[in-house]
Amino acid sequence: MASTQKDPGAIETARSLAHVPWSDEFEKMISGMLYDAQTSELVAARFEARRFMNKYNTHFPDDATPESLVKDREEMLKGILGGLGTGAFIEPPINIDYGCNIKIGDNFYSNFNLVILDCGIVTIGNRVQFGPFVSIFAATHETEVQSRRDAIEFARPVVIGDDCWIGGNTTIMPGVTIGKGW
């Protein structure tokens, strides 16, 4: 069920993130309220995410070295994600909704085919590893047909603590918190 008021904590968290498309609907989105996904600000932000995905997922220059490829990809990730720790690496392809609502800690690694629907804030701790085909879905919908037809959605945050290993083909649903690994 969607929240009925803005979440000051989520809004404060978003103030620390980069590339945020600030608007009333964005604040509703990260607060878990029903929001209109088709506003110009949110459509433009998703468009930029698609542009990023195309570039990141196909970037492999003829003169690339392993070191230069890591550096290039890190710079691309910094250009779209809300926060990126040092030593983070994501094997392409990656698919995201916005990117700005994703905060990744230090020494993160994701294998191929990562999907993050980051309508809610997604926080990934330090030294976290993902197997291939991990999907994180912060986005969700009401069960009523008309609201889905009207592109009315809501989201819940996802938190993954430090030192977790998320195995291949795992799907993490909206509102899930995974504590620190050991």
Query: Catalytic pick from 93, 111, 141, 147?
Result: 141
List the one residue out of 124, 122, 119, 95 whose CA is nearest residue 109.
124
Structure tokens at 26: 């964005």
β-sheet bridge partners, residue 141: 153
* DSSP H or E stretch at residue 94: strand 94-96
59 is catalytic: no
3-state SS assignment for residue 3? strand
The label of the residue with tokens 């994180």 reads 136
Residues 6+ apart with CB under 8 A from 140: 153, 154, 155, 156, 174
Task: Compute CA 49 distance to the chain's CA centroid, rounded to the nearest angstrom.
Answer: 10
What is the β-pairing status of strands 35-36 and 152-155? antiparallel
Strand partners, 143: none
Q: Which residues are catalytic?
A: 141
